[in-house]
Amino acid sequence: MNTIDFYMVDAFSQTTFGGNAAAVCPLVEWLPDETLLSMAQQHNQSETAYFVRTDSGFDLRWFTTQGEIDLCGHATLAAAHVIFEYLDYPETTVRFSTRFVGELSVTRAGDWLTLDFPAWKTEPCDVPPLLLDCLGITRYHAVSAGRDYMVVLENEQQVRDLTPDIHRLKPLDKMVCVTAPGDSVDFVSRFFCPGEAVAEDPVTGSTHSMLIPYWGERLGKTTLLAHQVSARGGVLRCQWQGDRVLIGGQATTYLIGKIFLR
């Protein structure tokens, strides 16, 4: 019987039941992909992060309940939290090797962890009528696309008031980020995942890879404060460094346990 340590962490939150929950499983060696997927489905969280220690740091992968994904911010933050808090890791920076986006790192300073992620550009695009219809909007400042659609509204209240028909967005074959200038922060956002088990993601590190360059350029700033205004929500300290972005947040352990594989 194989036993695996299991952690559930609320990422981008300093309190339990805030931010975005992720499961984290340190592994001695990689298990078959079908086992990793079955475990993620059993955990039933938006993401499960798996990592294996290497000579230079850690190999890191992320699975949803539907399969492996290319990048996940909150689960990376959760994995680093586990390494710093529970694995007697002596350094202040954790370095991860990933399959799809290369090298990532997370640095600890007090209670804050900072992700070093790639910066993603978006380009103006033709606006699919289905996108606006499902979001329930007729007015917008801009719409662009990269990995995800980014819909820019005029103000924070419009973002908070959205009640989209999320799953009807599935034919667009992209996730959707809606953003606007913030009332007390530089910008706010919400993130919708049509067709996924979690229809609205509470706090999304990876979408800030495109939000930070957009708002940095629009506001003429390299240091920004962001708030994802979902029901759980979270605050992110952001920096734009050209082709990289730094995304800072806190994390709180919710659960520690054991997985028994027979």
Q: Which residues are catalytic?
A: 47
Reduce the DSSP state of residue 222 to 3 states and report it.
coil
**3-class DSSP state for residue 252?**
strand
Cβ contact 164:134 at 8 Å: yes
Q: Shortest CA distance to 146 belongs to which of 130, 177, 123? A: 123
Greatest distance between any 2 Cα atoms in the chain: 58
DSSP at 107: E
Number of H-type helices and E-type strands within the chain = 5, 18
Tokens 């028994």 belong to which residue? 260
Please state, in angstroms and as integers, the Cα–Cα distance from residue 32 to each residue in 8, 19, 24, 35, 227, following that order: 22, 30, 17, 5, 37
Alpha-carbon gap, residue 117 to 101, rounded angstroms = 9
CA nearest to 210, candidates 195, 232, 191, 194? 191
Terminal C-alpha separation, the chain: 5
Q: Assess contact for 17 and 232: CB atoms under 8 A.
A: yes
Q: Token pair for residue 26?
A: 């340190």
Task: Count CB atoms within 10 A of the CB of residue 165.
Answer: 13
